[in-house]
Amino acid sequence: MEQNSTSLLDLSIDQPCANYLLEAAKWNKFISIVWFVLCGLMAVFSLFAGSIIATMYGSMPGMSDTMSMLGTGGGVMITLFYLLITAIYLIPNFWRYRFSVQAIAAVRSNDQVQLNLSLNNFRKYSKYWGILTIIIIAFYVLIFVFSIIGGALMMSR
């Protein structure tokens, strides 16, 4: 057991590994910049989509005041939903960007501290998506179970 813990201390990054890390960091920097732009567009879209829906339902002829209010509430809900989705994508993108910038700096300056910080950001990024994946799978399992139960209840009538 002691042998394994000391062998990690001897771990080093050779030139091919540094090149792989540098290439991965450059691609991740590009991807993160693209996602920053997409998140900005999603945020702007969410504001306009909510306004469009609220206006659409509010200006339909023959709509009651109650339906007009529902349209306004629906517009607000769509705006909040898209802003939530934007935040879900934006938060890990900061970690991806920091990983890439710090990894590039670490390889270029041969700086172990920068490399450690970089890998910590990559760990946060991976952990975030892992937890979110577990939540989504659990959500799908719940939908499946409730669908089976609902189908069984429908068949028993």
Q: What is the C-alpha separation between 118 and 123, in angstroms, rounded?
A: 9
Q: What is the C-alpha separation between 74 and 79, in angstroms, rounded?
A: 9
pLDDT at 66 (0 to 100): 56
pLDDT tens for each residue of the chain, 157 residues long: 444 555 567 778 889 999 999 999 999 999 999 999 999 999 999 888 877 776 776 655 655 555 555 566 777 788 889 999 999 999 999 999 999 999 999 999 999 999 999 999 999 999 999 999 999 999 999 999 999 999 988 888 7
**Token output for 18:** 């540094």
C-alpha separations of 145 from 139, 149, 150 in Å = 10, 6, 8
Pair 45, 82: CB distance under 8 Å:
yes
Predicted TM-score (pTM) of this structure: 0.77
